[in-house]
Amino acid sequence: MNKNYLQQFLAVVLLSLGVAVIQIHGQVVISEFMAANNRTLADEDGDYPDWIELYNSSTNAVNLDHWYLTDSSKNLMKWRFPATNIGPNSFMVVFASGKDRTVPGQWLHTSFQIKASGGFLALVKPDGVTVASAFNSYPPQISDISYGLPGSVVESNLVAAGSIGKIMVPQDGSQGLLWTGANEPYNDAGWVTVTNGIGYYQATNGPGTNLSIIYVGVQSAQGWRTTSAPKYYDLDGDGVYGTAGYIMYATDDAANANAGKCSGVNPLTYVEAPPGTMRTRKSIPAFLTVTNNGQNGVCASYGYPTVDDPEVPPAPANMAAVELGLATRSNVTFGTEVAMVNLVVGTNFPVSGLRIGVMALSSGSDSVDIIRLGGTGSANSSAATLRSYAAPVSIYFFDVKGAKAGDILTLYLTKNSSTGGSTNAAYVGLLFDVAPNDFADSIATSIQSRLKGVNASVYTRFQFTVADPAVFNSLTLRMKYDDGFVAYLNGTEIARRNAPEYTAGGRIANSVLEFSGTQGAGNWYYGYYDRSADPDGVYQTGDFTPFPQNFWTGSLWDWPAGNPPWTAIGPDTQHPNGINSGPEQWVVRRWQSPVRGTLNITVNYAKQNTSCGDGVTVRVLRNGMPIFQRVLAYNEGTWASTNLVVPEVEVGDLFDFAVDANGSTGSSDSCDNTYLTVTIDQQSSPPLTWYSTALSARQNQYSVPFVDFDLGRPDRWLVPGTNVLAIQGLNASVADADFLLMPVLTARLAQPGSVVEGRYFPRATPGAANNAGATVIGPVVDLESYSPATPQDGDNLIVTARVTPTFAPVGSVVLKYRVMFGTEVSLTMFDDGQHGDGLAADGVYGAIIPASASTPGQMVRWYFIATDVNGVSMRWPLYDNPSDSPQYFGTVISDPNVSSALPVLHWFIENPSGADTDAGARCSVYFNGEFYDNVWINIHGQSSRGFPKKSYDISFNSGYDFRYDTNQSRVGGVNMMTTYSDKAHMRNMLAYETYRDAGCPYHWVFPIRVQQNGAFWGDAHLMENGNGKYLKRNGRDPDGALYKMYNAFNSSSHTTIGQGGTYAEKKTRTYEGNADLVAL
């Protein structure tokens, strides 16, 4: 079962066939089961019992100890699981055989069998009461057809990563918009052919270039340790101190730092060091809030020395670094662990996780002994010796995955117990690896020589064919880009980001002048966020509640009969409510952008009541993500202004201007009325031209994930036949150091509605993702066969299949066949004993394909359509997923002229040149008496791409693995290696058999003769693909990480994932990054 689908519908009641109620209330669910298993899946005894498939949709393993399976709603604890784990995003099959076997690590068997006549089936949590997943009153079941939750939607990538397109760097405006697809055919013969994923990347690694530092000064016996003089460190322990040093500043009142002005600031806030003293700084990741944990008077400043310091350790290659410096109070007891700060997780924690590096910045007797990261969401909470006195500096990494909003990560520090004095503090730096800071892995075609220094704009065209756009019901454009783009589909603009669009610019919003008693007037809304009622306590866009109309007094929005709660908004004031007088409520003034582009937002603020309290916090959030916050002290009555430049704003973006009652001490009081006004200006923009630049430079880490644009129904944009996706890519400048453009256009056939029915699956998939399934099915077709097994030129081909009625009698059975790539021919099948079908009325139907239809060496393919008397049909093979299922059964007519001592592989492909690309093509393969249809083949290798006879990768459909040897397990893919450069035609065998005989991991490989479309193509080497099955066959962990290295692996630069060049190609676990290789 597809994990995304399950996560989407957790805790939803699902209806099936109007009778069965499917309940899902957990991460582990029953995704599929079979109540009449005659030949689908055998157990370890060779029997074919019923089976139940579970799926864990979470990113963490789940221990099923004391969970239960039951077929009785009156006995929820009928069969208990032993202590066994189901892995993250993984399946588990349990046989419902009645054998009652509960040995962990072996096949599990329940004490009951599933009723084929219909009934109840449930997964129950350890309390024996809570139903995690249940099928109530499931309908009657059919032999070897499973039942369960439908799988993911059917997708078709019309333009994919690796698709072939064309580019042109314009020299003038003569092309206009003709190239965008509105007036096809367009002559792009002079354009350059490229593979999707175009751009170039210039790495900027090196000491002092990727770090920005945040230091925190903590109160000591002498007051504040932050000073205006540089503090120098010997970071490598060689006795030489750095020359640039680090300048420490306190926040809030740097000039009076020693007075302790920022004592108790929480959450931590930061101010910039004086101009010229620090390199451009970065900020704490937006999804983290750093709060003080019992260390009074934590303050901070941030930046980086303007001069590179040889003592500064370089950041790891992919560290998008912001460094937060922390320090213990000087009066802590040596050897005692101190909880330094809390990292509170907000929304949008990266799916790939967060790497936190901890680095000691100590000198003299300031020393750190132990650093530990603990708390919820931490994948690594063990203690680690980080630095002892006088030892070289080191960085210890903690990998945090699966953190959710509200989780708290706590950093603990223990000062060295044998050195230091009572007045010394130990400083620690944190580095946050938010995401890979480059997109080099996304580039398939470098266009640096064509674009850089020539133009900031490039035109791209991708042609694709759609037979019938109406078969799909959604279309999505997915973009990776740096720095901007405008996209067109068949000449119509469909999306743009960070691209010029003529605007005069100027003032577009003023919170005071546009203040009114009408929600939405001037795009302004007025409301609150009830933090006390929010379980995770983290603000999100949906947490905003607009004031009802009866809150309008005629001059302001005010809680009726309030105080408490005192939650109100006036023309230039906002009053939040604190927990001292009812619920904690932020007061929020919301503005919805009617424009796109770059906005200048000016926020003016001051405390109105300056006589008491601990102050307030002013916040600005864009689409729920904080972009500014500042604590106002209780007596800050002088107006202050903050100017925010916000790029890439889109129509509909939400900006929330909030005031919360928690000030410098985190407590609430009744002195929180605050002045707050907002003005918003749109920056002017020129029109889009052939030489346009992006509106602003985009940070590289934002170019790594895709940005999705929902285009709605495909038939709105697409036409039957040839379509064109055209994009103008925009760089920040002609001389910009990097550029990326990677579009993916995906059409989907999604399941309608929010109520999902249980489905029958004629092609069961135990232990794998389900297909779409069907609510009502026609007659079941199986036991397909043909004779003779090796048809000769003069043989009629007899094709038979068993057809079993389901809910109504069989009405008709039709065989559709085609020879090679010709048109389909229909034959009626009979169960009369006269068409090679055996006995009459035995349920086996037959038809005869005449010998005259084909010639030697040709491919003959067919499928069946069985229809019941009610008109409900079943196709076999299903062909339910065009990208991962066979379309036909088939065979090859024997050719007496093909005689070889080598095994013969027959390869049929309608467009042979399609296999010579990374995008690849679909083909059919016949080998060792078995036919494989609609398999994927694409080019393999690097230097061999220029050979007349190339190497290829062949990937087989799920459930139809390739049998390369009758004595070995099947495989999901193989490599067909060219022998063009190997005149002896022996190199691969000699190399890998030598590895084998030496006891090393090796690939199996053997020579074959290849016939393409019935004609001799050449000889090749059929070789094992490097994947999980390769690891398992060699006695390694099939879930381990496997890399193919294109380098000597003696430099950190050699860990970059890619193909060819000096990259490292990741062959397994491709859903994750290269952190394991970097660690190695």
- pLDDT band (50, 70, 90) for residue 232: very low
Q: Does a structural domain hold residue 757?
A: no
b/e for 1041-1051, b at 16 or more Cβ within 10 A?
A: bbbeebeeeee
C-alpha–C-alpha distance, residues 127 and 311, integer Å = 57
* Weakest-pLDDT range from 221-235, 291-305, 656-670: 221-235
Domain presence at residue 456? yes
Per-residue pLDDT at 209: 25
State pLDDT tens for residues 52-107: 999 887 778 899 999 999 999 999 999 999 999 998 768 899 999 999 999 988 99
d(CA 99, CA 94): 11
Report the percentage of the chain scoring pLDDT > 90.
39
- Please name the residue that has the structure tokens 């519908």: 9
Question: Of 749, 765, 792, which residue sits at a domain end?
Answer: 749
Confidence band for 211, pLDDT divided at 50, 70 and 90: very low
pLDDT for position 273: 34
The per-residue pLDDT for 733 is: 93
Alpha-carbon distance 627 to 700, whole Å?
A: 18
Q: Please check whether residues 912 and 934 belong to one and the same domain.
A: yes
CA distance 313 to 51: 56
Exposure of 136 by Cβ count < 10 A (0-12 exposed, 13-18 middle, 19+ buried)?
middle
Q: Which of 537, 569, 531, 533 is nearest to 553 (CA)?
A: 569
CA proximity to 445, closest of 202, 196, 201, 203: 196
Considering the domain architecture, whether residues 227 and 184 belong to the same structural domain is answered as no
Q: What is the mean pLDDT of residues 1037-1048?
A: 84
pLDDT at 871 over 70: yes
3-state secondary structure of 703: helix
Does residue 452 sit in the same domain as residue 586?
Answer: no
Has residue 626 got a pLDDT over 50?
Answer: yes
Q: Are residues 25 and 133 in the same domain?
A: yes
Pairing of strands 299-303, 271-272: parallel
For residue 1074, is it within any domain? no
**Taking 80 as the threshold, does the pLDDT of residue 597 lie above it?**
yes
- Rounded to the nearest 5°, which phi and psi values hold at 62? -120, 125
Q: Is the pLDDT of residue 367 over 70?
A: no
Q: Do both 482 and 566 map to the same domain? A: no
- Which range, 99-108, 305-314, 1061-1070, has the best average confidence (pLDDT)? 99-108
Cβ atoms within 10 A of the Cβ of 295, count?
20
* pLDDT value for 25: 54
Which range is most confident: 842-851, 945-954, 962-971, 1036-1045?
842-851
CATH number of the domain within which 72 lies: 2.60.40.1260
* Radius of gyration of the chain measured on its C-alpha atoms: 34
Same domain for 711 and 615?
no
Question: 1034 and 927, same structural domain?
Answer: yes
Residue holding tokens 């060295």? Answer: 416
Q: What token pair was written down for 463?
A: 């042609």
In this predicted model, which residue has the larger pLDDT, 653 or 362?
A: 653
Is residue 397 very low, low, confident or very high in pLDDT (cuts 50, 70, 90)? low
Torsion of CA 1072, 1077, 1078, 1080, to 10 degrees: 140
Query: Is the Cβ–Cβ distance between 685 and 501 less than 8 Å?
Result: yes
DSSP string, 922-978: EEEEEETTEEEEEEEEEEE-SGGGGSSS-EEEEEPPTT--B-S-TTS--BSEEEEEE
- Residue 924: pLDDT band (50, 70, 90) is very high
Among the ranges given (377-391, 453-467, 845-859, 1027-1041), the one the predictor scored with the smallest mean pLDDT: 377-391
Domain boundary among 134, 152, 170: 152
If one compares 883 and 740, the residue with the highest pLDDT of the two is: 740
User: What band does 432 get if pLDDT is binned at 50, 70 and 90?
Assistant: low
Q: In whole angstroms, give the CA distance from residue 313 to residue 1025.
A: 40
* Segment 991-1008, tens digit of pLDDT: 999 999 999 999 999 999
Average pLDDT over residues 283-303: 51
The string of DSSP codes covering 890-914 is: EEE---TT---SS-EEEEE-S-GGG
Contact 401, 379 (CB under 8 A): yes
Q: Quick one: pLDDT band at residue 396, thresholds 50, 70, 90? A: low
Whether 169 is covered by a domain: the verdict is: yes
Cβ atoms of 690 and 176 closer than 8 Å: no
Would you tell me how many other CB atoms lie within 10 Å of the CB of residue 981? 10
676 and 810 housed in the same domain? no
Residues 670 and 604 in one domain: yes
Residue 423 predicted with pLDDT over 60: no
Say if residue 791 is in the same domain as residue 742. Answer: no
Distance, in Å, from the CA atom of 961 to the CA atom of 974, rounded to the nearest integer, reads 10
Is 863 buried (19+), middle (13-18) or exposed (0-12) by CB count in 10 A? Answer: buried
The chain-wide mean pLDDT, for the chain, equals 77
pLDDT at 24: 55
Q: Is the dihedral of CA 907, 910, 913, 916 positive or negative?
A: negative
The reply to whether 578 and 637 lie within a common domain is yes
Contact indicator for 331, 349 with CB cutoff of 8 Å: no
**Is residue 760 in some structural domain?**
no
pLDDT of residue 291: 66
Q: Which two tokens stand for residue 243?
A: 């020359």
Closest CA to 463 of 171, 728, 745: 745
What pLDDT does 357 receive?
Answer: 60
> Which of 631, 664, 681 is a domain's end point?
681
Do the beta carbons of residue 588 and residue 531 sit within 8 Å?
no
Going by pLDDT thresholds of 50, 70 and 90, the confidence category of residue 701 is low
Cα–Cα dist 1014/1020, whole Å: 16
Residue 333 has pLDDT above 80, yes or no: no
Q: 250: closest CA among 266, 269, 233, 267?
A: 269
Task: Please report the pLDDT score of residue 907 as a whole number.
Answer: 96
Inter-CA distances, 910 with 613, 621, 948, 1042, Å = 78, 55, 19, 34
C-beta atoms surrounding 940 within 10 Å:
20
Going by C-beta distance under 8 Å and a sequence separation of 6 or more, which residues neighbour residue 993? 1002
Separation between Cα atoms, residue 726 and residue 713, nearest integer Å: 19
Q: What's the half-sphere exposure (Cβ side, CA atoms, 13 Å) at 1061?
A: 17
pLDDT in tens, 790-832: 999 999 999 999 998 888 899 999 999 999 988 889 999 999 9
Q: Which residue did the predictor score with more confidence, 135 or 263?
A: 135
Mean pLDDT for the stretch of residues 608-620: 88
- Mark residue 711 as left, alpha or beta (left: phi above 0; alpha: psi -120 to 50; beta: remaining): alpha
Shared-domain flag, residues 353 and 246 = yes
Q: What is residue 256's predicted lDDT score, i.e. its pLDDT? A: 33
User: Which class for 227: exposed (0-12), middle (13-18), buried (19 or more C-beta within 10 A)?
Assistant: middle
Supply the CATH number for residue 870's domain: 2.60.40.10
The confidence score (pLDDT) of residue 298 equals: 39
Residue 213: is its pLDDT beyond 50?
no
CA distance linking residue 445 with residue 917, whole number of Å: 13
Q: Give the count of beta carbons closer than 10 Å to the beta carbon of residue 77.
A: 16
Cβ(441)–Cβ(1057) below 8 Å: yes
Q: What mean pLDDT is predicted for residues 174-185?
A: 88
User: Is the CB of residue 262 less than 8 Å from the CB of residue 250?
Assistant: yes
Q: How many residues belong to the chain?
A: 1080
Task: Identify the pLDDT of residue 546.
Answer: 86
Segments forming the whole domain that contains residue 922: 904-1040
Residue 1053 covered by a domain:
no
Smallest CA-to-CA distance from 184 within 464, 474, 486 is with 464
Please count the structural domains in the chain.
Answer: 6
pLDDT value of residue 264:
35
Average pLDDT over residues 875-881: 84
pLDDT band at 351 (very low <50, low <70, confident <90, very high): low
Kindly state whether residue 763 falls inside one of the protein's structural domains.
Answer: no
Q: Which conformational region is residue 377 in: left (phi greater than 0), alpha (psi within -120 to 50 degrees), or beta?
A: left
Question: Looking at the domain assignment, is residue 1078 inside a domain?
Answer: no
- Determine which of 446-450, 712-716, 1045-1049 has the lowest per-residue pLDDT on average: 712-716
The pLDDT tens digits for 468-520 are 786 676 789 999 999 999 999 998 888 889 998 888 889 999 999 999 998 88
Q: Which residues of 713-744 are buried (b: 16+ CB within 10 A; e: fewer)?
A: ebbebbeeeebbbbbbbbbbeeebbbbbbbbb
* pLDDT tens, residue by residue, 935-972: 999 888 877 888 888 999 999 987 789 999 999 889 98
* The predicted structure's pLDDT at residue 413: 65
715: tokens are: 């038939």
Confidence of residue 753 (pLDDT cuts 50, 70, 90): very low
